[in-house]
Amino acid sequence: MKKLFVLLLVAALLLPCMSGLAEADKVVEWDVLMPWSETNYALLDGDITQNEVIKEYVRRYQETYGVEVKLNFNVLSTTEVYDKFPLLVAGGEIGDMIWWNCNNSTYPGAPDTLYDDGLCVDVTDMLPEYAPKFMAMLESTPDYYQAQYYTPKGRLALFGSEFDEMNPETGEVELLTMVGPVLPTYMLEESGMTKDDINTFDDLTELLRRLKDNGVEIPLHGIFDSWMMNWYYSGFGAAQSWYLPNGGDKVEWGPLTPEWREAVEQLHAWYEEGLFNRDFTNFTYALAASGALTNQIGVLGSDIRIADIYAAQNEGKTVTALHMPRTTERYNDDIVTGCMGGAGYVIKYYATFFSVNCNDLEEAIRFVDFRYDDEISLLALFGFEGVSFEYDEQGKPVYTAAFKADPSMDAKYTAEFLSGKYMTDKYRNAMKGEIYDETVFGEWSAPGMQDCFLPENLFSRTVEEQDIYNKYYLNFMYSMFEYLYKFIQEGITDDSWNEYVQTAKSLGYEELVEVQQAAYDRLIGKN
């Protein structure tokens, strides 16, 4: 009897192990090519398998589907991928999957040419069966948002990417503008103005004058990275690059429009009055950021992350996001269209492409589909409860103090590329609270402005078109900046403007706009 009891006890102890083995009755192994941050990679000693979220993702997949997954990563830095990707293609070494948004920057004509050239498999027709989570989310989004996921040839190109700021229950997508004007709250208070007083560029001029009178060294920053200035040009109905005026179908180069001229004339007026950085030609992003954090700059065009950084550097002081200023005429007529960059395909870096040599394609699709789940997105963006995040009094996830103090924890306990949902609360909660209470969200949400954005990331130029673009664009763009700097410092006359327009045409403007228009027409199916 005792012997029987021992045998039963041993059997009972072995049952969980046997059950676990039964769950993993299938083993798959994939080689994954993935560009990744040099900083995060270095913090993991060059070993991405030290990322605890990846391990947990694989463990949960096995627990759910009974499949053991082995991943072999070929990690490239985000800067070297542009040079090395073509070499990997030439050597047939792209592996089973690519976890990155391969576009024209890395492979000409991508993503369509990835399929046309026989590198990757078009899985569009397979996704309804093997990626039901992804398809359910895609089908719940508005039509205009769904369209962003397809290539000009009708293939699903953004499988694996996040659904930005989407409400999982309603399917509504918030196109949160990423950049806008902010300034330290104490400067706004000392000016005697409130954010509701500042709606037009005339209002903004008055604020800048008061900042100068109060001793602010640079009332308005001067830096011309397009992402830092789009908010400004948008208020004139212009753009600093290619765009679609008034949400139409005609592609134009913003810096050749009357609206852009008006915007630059305003910059010149501020420059003359000492409201705009006098040394703007040597003003880098690093200088702008440090100047803002040390209160040398008043109004800064920045993204929402500046709030937390500023508070950390200034003992909890806050910044205030202003309303997006517009010309008086546009404000009075309530015209908000412009070229404001926002969410959508523009920032989807983690689409997945499957090599024609992908091992067990069906399982690979299901493995990527696994990320379209609330719990997995929480894991990917926040990591582990009690280690990298905790729940606040409202029951929302927030990073722990230890996580914020140790950069290596970000590399080890988050993996945004494994998130199928952008988790609005990640940024909304992190940025609101005392720092961002009613200063950004709502003020920078402007879906109408997205209509004018030109989706170049989805362009599929022909070989001839790409050759034309490569031949002209750099010199053309550099010339625009040379004139921009001259116009700000010296002003614009009709003669100097005409010279600028003629120079642009001599540098290939007409050829470039023809190429851009043809590519856009294909994208929207006009050809």
Could you read off the pLDDT of 232-254 as tens digits, one per residue? 888 898 888 888 887 788 999 99
Nearest to 403 by CA among 433, 426, 434: 426
Contact in structure between 481 and 224 (CB atoms under 8 Å) = yes
Mean pLDDT in the chain? Answer: 83
Helices 285-293 and 306-313 pack at an angle, to 10 degrees, of 50
Rounded Cα gap, residues 523 and 527, in angstroms: 9
Could you read off the pLDDT of 151-171 as tens digits, one per residue? 767 888 889 988 866 665 665
Dig out the tokens for 108 from the structure.
């000409």
Residue bearing tokens 């988050």? 414
- Look up the CATH number of domain 25-172+345-422: 3.40.190.10
Task: Return the pLDDT at 171.
Answer: 59
Could you read off the pLDDT of 166-198 as tens digits, one per residue? 665 665 655 555 578 889 999 999 999 998 999
What DSSP string runs through 359-372? Answer: SSHHHHHHHHHTTS
Rounded Cα gap, residues 332 and 200, in angstroms: 9
Dig out the tokens for 325 from the structure.
């200023």
Strands 26-36 and 97-99: parallel
Dig out the tokens for 341 from the structure.
């960059």
Q: Which residue has the higher pLDDT, 94 or 421?
A: 94
Q: Which residue has the higher pLDDT, 283 or 408?
A: 408
Rounded Cα gap, residues 446 and 321, in angstroms: 14
Residue bearing tokens 């609270």? 433
Task: Return the pLDDT at 422.
Answer: 76
What is the average per-residue pLDDT within 9-15? 38
CA atoms within 13 A on the CB side of 137: 26
What is the average per-residue pLDDT within 409-422? 90
Helix residue ranges per DSSP H, 24-131? 38-43, 52-65, 81-90, 112-116, 127-130
502 to 387, 431, 478, 497: CA distances (angstroms): 61, 46, 15, 9
What is the architecture, at CATH level 2, of domain 179-344+442-452? 3-Layer(aba) Sandwich (3.40)
For 338, which DSSP code? Answer: S
Has residue 283 got a pLDDT over 60? Answer: yes
The structure's pTM equals: 0.62
Contact in structure between 418 and 57 (CB atoms under 8 Å) = yes
Dig out the tokens for 497 from the structure.
């403007």
Strands 242-243 and 218-220: unpaired
Has residue 459 got a pLDDT over 90? Answer: no
Could you read off the pLDDT of 495-514 as tens digits, one per residue? 999 999 999 999 999 999 99
Rounded Cα gap, residues 511 and 465, in angstroms: 9
Could you read off the pLDDT of 347-393 as tens digits, one per residue? 456 789 999 999 999 999 999 999 999 899 999 999 999 999 999 88
Task: Return the pLDDT at 67.
Answer: 97
Dig out the tokens for 373 from the structure.
């789940």
Could you read off the pLDDT of 125-145 as tens digits, one per residue? 999 999 999 999 888 877 766
